[in-house]
Amino acid sequence: MEPYILTIDMSGLPQAWVELQEAITYHAKGMVAWSLGEQVCSFRGGWRRDGTRSQIDTKSIIAIRGSSNGARLLGQSPGLSNPLLFSRDRQLCAYCGQRFPLKELSRDHVVPVSRGGRNTWTNVVTACRSCNTCKSNRLPEEAGMSLLYVPYSPNRYEHFILRNRRILADQMQYLMSGVPRNSRLHD
C-alpha cells in the first residue's frame, strides 16, 4: 500500500492527504515550495538531451506554493461524521466506558436534539447502542448516567489524524505538534 502525502499550506497548516501521483504532479509543475520528512518515492521520467534521466523525489510532507488558508481555516471545526466521532472517542462508550466494534456504536446527543441540543462536536459523544437506548431522550443526569469524558471539537491537526489510518511516523510527529495537550490523542 502506497502512503499518502500530507500537503500543507505556506504557513504549515495541513490542507489535504494526496496520493503519490498527485504529489509528483505538484513537483513537476513547480508548485512545491519546500518539503519535510522522509523521502517516500522517486519517480523516474524520460531521458534528457544530455543523456541523463529525469527524476522527481518526494517527501512525506510537502508545502504547496501559493496556498495560505492558515488563518482562515485554523479555527474551523471539521465536519461531523460518525466515523470521525468514533475515532475521536476511540470507540469508547461515553457512559459505560467499554470499547465496541464500529457496528455497535451510535452517536448520542448529550442534550437531545428534541430538547434544543445541536448536532455539534461539543454536544455529541460515542455511545453503545444499549446505553444510547437507556439514556433515550433525557439528559445524562436525568437518566442517572454520567459522562466519562467531555466532548470537544477536534482542531485541524487532529482532524487530519482522525481521517487517515496510514500515517507515516514523520507525518504523525508533524501533526501531533499541532494537537492540544488536553486532546484524547495524547492518551
State whether the Cα torsion 151-177-3-34 is positive or negative. positive
24 and 68: one domain? yes
Interval 86-112: pLDDT, tens? 999 999 999 999 999 999 999 999 999
Amino acid letter, 21 = Q
Q: Supply the range of the domain harboring residue 41.
A: 5-75
Place of cell 448516567: 145
Looking at 143, 158, 182, which one is the last position of a domain? 143
Interval 111-145: pLDDT, tens? 999 999 999 999 999 999 999 999 999 999 999 99
How big, in percent rounded to 5, are the helix, strand and coil portions of the chain? Answer: 30, 25, 40
What are the helix (H) ranges across 67-155?
A: 70-74, 82-88, 129-135, 140-143
Measure the CA–CA gap between 62 and 41, rounded to whole angstroms.
13
In a domain, 173, yes or no: no
